[in-house]
Amino acid sequence: MKARTKTGRVLAALAIGSLFVAACGSDDEAADTATEATTAPAEESEPEVVLASDECAIPVSADVVAIDVMGWEFPIITQYAAELKECEAANYSFNIQFLDSKEAQNQINLDLATGAPSYEMVQGSNQFIVELANKGLLLPLNDLIDKYRDQFGLDNIPQGMWDLVTVDGKIYSIPMVANTQHVFYNEEVLNKLGIAVPKTYDEAITACPKLIEAGYAGFEMMLSADWAWQIEYDNVLGSLGVKPIDNTTGQPNFNSAEGVKAAQILSDIVSKCGGKTIGTYSTDDVQNAFQTGEYVLGHLWASRAAAMDDAEATTPEVLGKVKFAPALTGGTVLGAPAYVDGYAIPAKVGVDAEKVFLAMLGATDDESQTAAAKFGGVTRSGVSNPEGPRNGEALNVSTSKGRGADQTHPAAAIYRAEIGKALIKILDGASAADAIAAAEAAYLKEAKAQNLLS
């Protein structure tokens, strides 16, 4: 905690110093509004801007800014929520609510669609943010980003991260979490059984009988929800070099030989590795199963890696023994998505959007990301935390050599809904080919009904 405070102070001092220099050499509006540090003397012609604190270096608002936030929670998001709370020193108040990811998405959609949203800020993945943006429910942030780009070092976020939350040149979020999925494994157990860390889905499935015979679970992943099936399916299909739909026309590509093969790989994971209970583990359950030693090989979100070193929640026999490897492949590309998570502002937000944006900046600046890096991947170049997770290499390789971002076509949301609903029936015995055929029929019917195909 001391290290974090010290780092925060150094960064804040640097930020304040650079802002002061920028203010002296510039007369534009951005420089006028947020240039002075708490202790800096104000020029006679300019009002003094008081920054809230080192932890949230944004101007103190004259009036209370009440912000309701909705999203879904995992460890690094919990930390970012704490960073938002730090901004209460700037005369803000935050009511932060978390739901299950699917319910949060439904709730946000309904709320924003009313045209008078009760949330001033929403949190989600790039996939969800793009879906909202396609519906015109989010505020483009380009002007605000340009205004505060230098002051808050927004160029430290690589362009590739911005691209994930950009639609038609409009940016809808500030990326704050870098995420993907990759292999988690218990090195000691795999060494004992003479199993090499798998690099392909076939190798992972082949390892299962040996693991199960030795009394361990097979190769495991989260397959208890339709959306999880969709993401895992997209991973496998992407590793075979296929995008599920044409991003220009929306026409489906997934009912093909590769599409059925991808579904068959997931079906094999269920029947040969996961068994009857694989459809009962949530993401939290999979994480906990690794922490207790129940799982020794599987596929999990990179944002869960830090938990493997949590001495309070990981059994001593497992602590420090879970290692990380890049995502698997079924062909030439790694089956790993490029995900970012971030905050966004509803298009018809009921309060001053700039003040909401400033809170987002205060909670995602270098100081905040340094603190968040203890729990997972962050987005600012050069920001790290010595107490952070050990999966940096697996995360970087998986992201850079993975299947990339989800598709942005407006019909992609329908594809995701239908493929997830169809594939999850594999748990109850549906064949891969039947599931894919059913998904294609449902997708075409719904996308045509909504005039989204060309």
Partner 1 sequence: MDRRSFTFFVLPSVSVMTMLMVVPLGTTIWLSLTDLLLRDLDNSSFIGLANYSEVLRDPAFWRATRFTLAFVAITVPIEMTLGITFALLLDRVGRGRSIYLAAILLPFIVTPVVGTLLFRNLFSRGGLVSWLIELVTGTPFVIDGSNVRFLIMLHAVWHVTPFAFVAVFAGLQTLPQERVEAAAIDGGKFREIFWHVTIPHLKSILFFVAIISIMDSYRVFDSVFVFAGNRFDDSHTLSVYNSVVALDAKIGRLGKGHAIAVLTVIGIFAALVPFLVRSYKEQIADRT
- Give the interface with partner 1 as residue ranges (CB under 8 A): 102, 105-106, 108-110, 113-115, 131, 134-137, 224-226, 276-277, 279-281, 413-414, 416-417, 420-421, 424-425, 427-429, 446, 449-450
Q: How far is the CB of 322 from partner 1 (least distance, A)?
A: 22
Report DSSP state, residue 332: S
Q: How far is the CB of 73 from partner 1 (least distance, A)?
A: 18
Query: What single string gives the DSSP state of each residue in 88-125?
Result: GGGTEEEEEEE--HHHHHHHHHHHHHTSS-S-SEEEEE
> In the complex with partner 1, which residue's Cβ is closer, 243 or 421?
421
Report DSSP state, residue 329: B
| Cβ-count burial 233-263 (b if 16+ within 10 Å, e if not) | bbbbbbbbebbbbeeeebebbbbbebbbbbb
Q: How far is the CB of 425 from partner 1 (least distance, A)?
A: 8
> In the complex with partner 1, which residue's Cβ is closer, 57 or 426?
426
> In the complex with partner 1, which residue's Cβ is closer, 85 or 425?
425
CA distance 24 to 16: 12
Residues in the chain: 454
Q: How far is the CB of 265 from partner 1 (least distance, A)?
A: 20
Report DSSP state, residue 242: -
CA distance 110 to 104: 10
Q: Which class for 215: exposed (0-12), middle (13-18), buried (19 or more C-beta within 10 A)? A: exposed
Q: How far is the CB of 118 from partner 1 (least distance, A)?
A: 16
Q: How far is the CB of 410 from partner 1 (least distance, A)?
A: 8
> In the complex with partner 1, which residue's Cβ is closer, 19 or 419?
419
> In the complex with partner 1, which residue's Cβ is closer, 67 or 413?
413
Residue carrying the six token digits 């605000």? 144
Half-sphere exposure of 245 (CA within 13 A, CB side): 28
Q: How far is the CB of 217 from partner 1 (least distance, A)?
A: 12
CA distance 446 to 136: 20
Q: How far is the CB of 264 from partner 1 (least distance, A)?
A: 20
CA distance 240 to 334: 9
Rounded to the nearest 5 degrees, what angle is found at the Cα of 203, between the Cα atoms of 200 and 205?
110
> In the complex with partner 1, which residue's Cβ is closer, 84 or 414?
414
> In the complex with partner 1, which residue's Cβ is closer, 61 or 431?
431
> In the complex with partner 1, which residue's Cβ is closer, 120 or 226?
226
Q: What contacts 114, CB < 8 A, 6 or more positions away? A: none
Q: How far is the CB of 206 from partner 1 (least distance, A)?
A: 25
Torsion from C-alpha of 116, 121, 125, 129, nearest 10 degrees: 40
Alpha-carbon separation of residue 232 from 116, 227, 332 (angstroms): 35, 9, 16
Q: For residue 418, what is the enclosing H or E element?
A: helix 412-423
> In the complex with partner 1, which residue's Cβ is closer, 22 or 417?
417
Q: How far is the CB of 99 from partner 1 (least distance, A)?
A: 12
> In the complex with partner 1, which residue's Cβ is closer, 93 or 106?
106
